[in-house]
Chains A and B, each alone.
Chain A
Amino acid sequence: MTNYIIRRLLFLPVILFGVTILIFGILQLLDPTERAALYVKDIPKNPNAVQELVKKYGLDRPIYEQYFDWVGKAIHGDLGWSRTAQRPVLEAIIYYFPATVELSLWAILPIVLGGVWLGVRAAVNHNKPIDHSARLFAMVGSSFPTFVFALLMLMIFYANLQWFPPGRLDDWASGVVASDQWHQYTGMYTLDGILNARLDVTLDAIKHLFLPVVTLSYIYWALFLRVTRSSMLEVLNQDYIRTARAKGLSEGNVVNKHALRNALIPVATIGGLTFVGLLNGVIITETVYNFRGMGWYAATAALRLDVISVLGITLFTAILYVLANLVVDVLYGFLDPRVRIS
């Protein structure tokens, strides 16, 4: 097992190199003058400004030179300056990441609990109406475009009912967070609100989290329902379940104590991958709700051709992705002893 982990970890730099080279290559499709021009405010006043920037930052040097230059700086934690966030890229990542973590943590619980519960109900009532309606629900859920669902939610709960607004905090709460009395512990407003003894900020943050969490939940319930259901169906057909029933155990006992444990193994894998997916890919949700986390940052940077930010974000995301896959694989081996042998 340890060998396996070490081998996987050794691959990490290789994959990171590959990923960053690929992104660097893609970004090089923009030629130097275009990239420098993004940083110049008034071109007409100073026609040479663009060329000066190109020279100054060495944007016309060969690709590999620029790449290794970036790698060298990156290893020291200098990922460059983000135009989008108006601060160094590393700082920007540290600033925006907690928002996404907060959203993911709040979302993963309803997603897993709801999805698994629905999946178990569907599997236990196989082919009965509740199974069919659950499957239809899952089908619609996985077909629903995230941004359409988000817009509909905003239409009903914000425009119409004025209950849940977009963004992370109301203006007054943002003022509190920016003030001197506030101490930033984690960057997650729900937690920090408690730690700062300002429950009103926590409640405000929750109010703003409601719609994004509901959106993510609905979209992912479809996936969890499907995986739990098929896994549960497979387990319920096994011989040892038949034995348990024959021994006279109650149905509840059979389902909850014996079947569920085994059926949940693939769900754990999916759960891990979903959590990573949430950390990485809530781009649409965060953008529609103006919830400023990593997803919002990534989308905004890409749209503004903020090359440096995109490089930094990609690096960060790739590291997270690879590590998370490793954790999930190890967890799977841990949960399912049969895998360990092979």
Chain B
Amino acid sequence: MAEQAISTTSIGSVLAPKASRKFVMPKVVMQILRNPLSLAGMIILLGFILVAIFAPVLAPPPARSRDPFIIPRAGFKAEPSPPSPDHPFGTTEGQYDIFYGVVWGTRTAFLVGIVVVGSTLIFGLVLGSVSAYLGGWVDDGLMRITEIFLAFPFLLAALTMAAVLQPKLGRGLYTGMIALIVFGWMGYARIIRGDILTVKEREYVTAARAIGVRDFNILFRHILPNAIFPTMVVASLDIATIVLSFAALSFLGLGAELGYADWGQMLALARNWIPNLNKYWFIVVYPGTVLLLFVLGWNLLGDALRDIVDPRMRGKGN
């Protein structure tokens, strides 16, 4: 979680008048492809995207199953079974097929990551824009509220929120996602507010105002488009953090429900077998490796994007 505090970039320096924006994109793509680490990240993510798309083919849900995300059980024996031709990755306790869970868990990971980051992004952007644009006591009030939310250790707050929501919403994806959204928007609010405040004083905004462009237009046509790209960088790193946090919530018993195709949930099933974990290594290794690779892929990509966007690093060959 400490990484969250470090990844905010100084966006003001990247803002450029609208005209040159067109030429930035291809250069960025070239830089991504040239850097071996970010290329690796992209390949990893592409792999995951393919697995997510072809999940029904790779791990077909049993006929007449009401929800493909519920992992099929090969019986009800408590002891986990090692990998076999029937179950390539073995089964957990209660005979949940690990391979199935890993494959469909990819879809869950993308779903959770995109929905949560998308929501926090939108909410944070709106709040930050309103705060910066209105200024005055609205700005002060909203920023104090942001600080109060930030005073919570992220995981503890999300945990509490999820625990409280569970009696109402039952165990499931929504509890975890809402909990993460409620405590995840602050970073974006602060970034966009900082951007707007920096840009507000710039010449081309003054010039636009002088010509008579209305404030609303300034915000949408000039400020936001230039600030969006660096925010996307933060968002891509954030997806990794969010998927990790959701997995942590599931691991502790508050995210996905038992038997749901979610990596964290499957790892939680390893907790009962710790004294003999070497015998049941497959419960930890398969979901764990997949989770690690997913997060690694996003981190590599996000890191490369950040290196490109942050001009301080540009000349140093990072």
A147: CB under 8 A from chain B? yes
Tell me the count of chain A residues lying within 8 A, CB to CB, of chain B. Answer: 63
Chain B hits for A302, CB < 8 A: 156, 159-160, 163
Report which of B252, B281, B317 forms a contact with A287, defined as CB distance below 8 A. B252
Query: Is B288 interfacial (CB-CB < 8 Å)?
Result: yes
Task: Report whether A318 and B152 are in contact in the complex, using a CB–CB cutoff of 8 Å.
Answer: yes
Interchain CB contact (< 8 A) of B292 among A126, A144, A220: A144
State which of B161, B281, B303 has its C-beta within 8 Å of the C-beta of A26: B161
Is the CB–CB distance between B299 and A143 below 8 Å? yes
Pair A30/B277 contact, Cβ less than 8 Å: no
Cβ of A159: which chain B residues have Cβ within 8 Å of it? 274-279
Residues of A within 8 Å of B254, CB to CB, are 303
Which residues in B have their C-beta under 8 angstroms from that of A29? 164-165, 168
Cross-chain contact B277 with A155 (CB below 8 angstroms)? yes
Contacts of B248 in A (CB 8 A): 145-147, 284
CA distance A155 to B281 in the complex (A): 7
Main SS at interface, chain A: helix
Expressed in whole angstroms, the Cα–Cα distance for A141 and B198 within the complex equals 35
Q: Is A19 located at the chain interface by the 8 A CB criterion?
A: yes
Q: State whether the Cβ of A103 lies closer than 8 Å to any Cβ in chain B.
A: no
Q: Which of A90-98, A254-262, A272-280 contacts B (4 or more CB under 8 A)?
A: A272-280
A127-B317, A139-B299 in contact; A34/B252 too (CB < 8 A)?
no
Given A142-B3, A299-B252, A310-B160, the answer on whether A151 and B277 have CB atoms closer than 8 Å is: yes
Contacts of B292 in A (CB 8 A): 140, 143-145, 148
Interface size class of B (residues with CB under 8 A): 35 or more
Q: How far is the CA of A30 from the CA of B164 in the complex (A)?
A: 6
Residues of chain B within 8 A of A127, CB atoms compared: 317
Q: Is the interface of B mostly helix, strand, loop or mixed?
A: helix
Asked if A59 lies at the interface with its beta carbon under 8 angstroms from chain B, I say: no
Binary interface encoding of chain A residues 108-152 relative to chain B, with 1 for a CB under 8 A from any of its CBs, else 0: 000000000000000000110000000110011011111110011
Given known A-B contacts A143-B295, A145-B295, A151-B270, A22 and B252 have beta carbons under 8 A apart:
no
Asked whether B70 is an interface residue with its Cβ less than 8 Å from the other chain, the reply is no
User: Counting CB contacts under 8 A, is B244 at the interface?
Assistant: yes
Taking a contact as CB atoms under 8 Å apart, the answer to whether B153 and A156 are in contact is no
B164 touches A299 (CB 8 A): no
A70 interfacial by beta-carbon distance below 8 Å: no
The one of B3, B156, B163 in contact with A280, judged by C-beta atoms closer than 8 angstroms, is B156
B251 to A, closest residue via Cβ: A147
Contact indicator A15/B147 (Cβ below 8 Å): yes
A205 within 8 A of B: no
Q: Are A283 and B160 in contact (CB under 8 A)?
A: no
With A155-B277, A303-B254: A318-B164 Cβ-Cβ less than 8 Å? no
Whose C-beta in chain B lies nearest to the C-beta of A307? B164
Report whether B1 and A148 are in contact in the complex, using a CB–CB cutoff of 8 Å: no
Cβ of A108 to closest chain B Cβ, rounded Å: 13
List residues 281-334 of chain A with CB under 8 A from any CB of chain B. Answer: 281, 283-284, 287-288, 298-299, 302-303, 305, 310, 313-314, 317-318, 321-322
Contact indicator B317/A321 (Cβ below 8 Å):
no
User: Please, how many angstroms separate the alpha-carbon atoms of A237 and B317 in the complex?
Assistant: 12
Chain B residues with CB under 8 Å of A152's CB are 284-285, 288
> What residues of B have a CB within 8 angstroms of the CB of A23 in the complex?
160
In the bound complex, what is the Cα–Cα distance between A220 and B244 (angstroms)? 15
Tell me the nearest residue of chain B to A165, going by C-beta.
B275
Residues of B within 8 A of A321 (CB): 151, 153
In the complex, per-residue mask of B287-318: 1 if CB is within 8 Å of any chain A CB, else 0: 01001100110011001000000000100111
Q: Which residue of the partner chain B has the closest CB to A226?
A: B6
A194 to B241 Cα, complex, angstroms: 41
B155 near A283: Cβ-Cβ < 8 Å: yes
Q: Which of A7-52 contact B (CB under 8 A)?
A: 14-15, 18-19, 22-23, 26-27, 29-30, 34
Taking A155-B278, A314-B160 as known contacts, 5 extra A-B pairs with beta carbons closer than 8 A to each other, sorted by chain A number, are A22-B149, A127-B317, A147-B248, A159-B278, A226-B6
| A and B contact pairs by CB, cutoff 8 A, 29 listed | A14-B144, A18-B147, A18-B148, A29-B165, A139-B299, A139-B300, A144-B295, A145-B247, A146-B248, A147-B247, A147-B251, A151-B288, A155-B277, A155-B278, A159-B274, A159-B275, A223-B3, A223-B6, A237-B316, A283-B153, A283-B159, A284-B155, A284-B248, A288-B271, A298-B156, A298-B159, A305-B167, A310-B160, A313-B156
Give me the interface of B with A, judged by CB distance under 8 Å: 1-3, 5-6, 37, 144-145, 147-149, 151-156, 159-161, 163-165, 167-168, 240, 244, 247-248, 251-254, 267, 270-271, 274-279, 281, 284-285, 288, 291-292, 295-296, 299-300, 303, 313, 316-318
